Amino acid sequence: MIPSSPFLCVITDESFCPVTIAELALKGGAAMIQLRHKSASGSQLFSWAVEIRNLCRIYRALFIINDRVDIAMASEADGVHLGQQDMPANAARTLLGKERIIGVSASSFEEALQAEKDGADYIGFGHIYPTFSKEKGFPPLGTEGLLNAAAFISLPIIAIGGVCLDNAATLISCGASGVAVISAVSRTDDPSRAASELVAAIKWKNS
């Protein structure tokens, strides 16, 4: 189940060991870890997934696999996060069952609405701000786009794209249930502290 209070999701960075980043983020208070690694083999992903799943259970956090429904099933992850080029949420639901969490990336209100109709459990909405984590074919959605989505989409929305300590609380105020980061945690001198500061910011601003 998606947390009911503002939360931090940390997505693993392909430049660093996913297990290490996950453990440091969890120590800092992250409530969700998403394993994302486009170039890793299935066997490597599964190995990482099992390790991160065990860590998440210790810290009572959610563990989500990016794209790979098969790895999510095999590793007993809490769920899967699907992009627009992956299978639709309703097809993934047939494989995963009712108990697993299914998130869907959306870069527009229309995509978010479709994901909701398809039975997703949450929306990864963005990019909100400019980001260099991967190439984008559309301009940032900004807080206005987030406000619009939050007003009409009943699912929890996780804001992603350019999220950092300076703007994370603002996104929660605009209707996001949580924020997702990559470099704001993994590419810092102290990922655990960075995660802790982000968690404190979103919870203090909205307490």
Domain range annotation of the chain: 7-205
Assign domain 7-205 to its CATH superfamily. Answer: Aldolase class I (3.20.20.70)
Q: For 41-64, what is the mean pLDDT?
A: 98
Provide the H-helix boundaries in 60-190.
69-75, 89-96, 109-117, 142-152, 168-173, 183-186
Active site residue 105: yes
Catalytic residue (one of 36, 53, 68, 100): 36
78 pLDDT higher than 60 = yes
Q: For 152-170, what is the mean pLDDT?
A: 97
Q: For 39-68, what is the mean pLDDT?
A: 97
Active site residue 207: no
Active site residue 134: yes
Catalytic residue (one of 53, 100, 105, 186): 105
Q: For 147-161, what is the mean pLDDT?
A: 96
169 pLDDT higher than 80 = yes
User: How many helices and strands in the chain, by DSSP H and E?
Assistant: 9, 8
* 136: exposed, middle or buried (Cβ count in 10 Å: 0-12, 13-18, 19+): middle
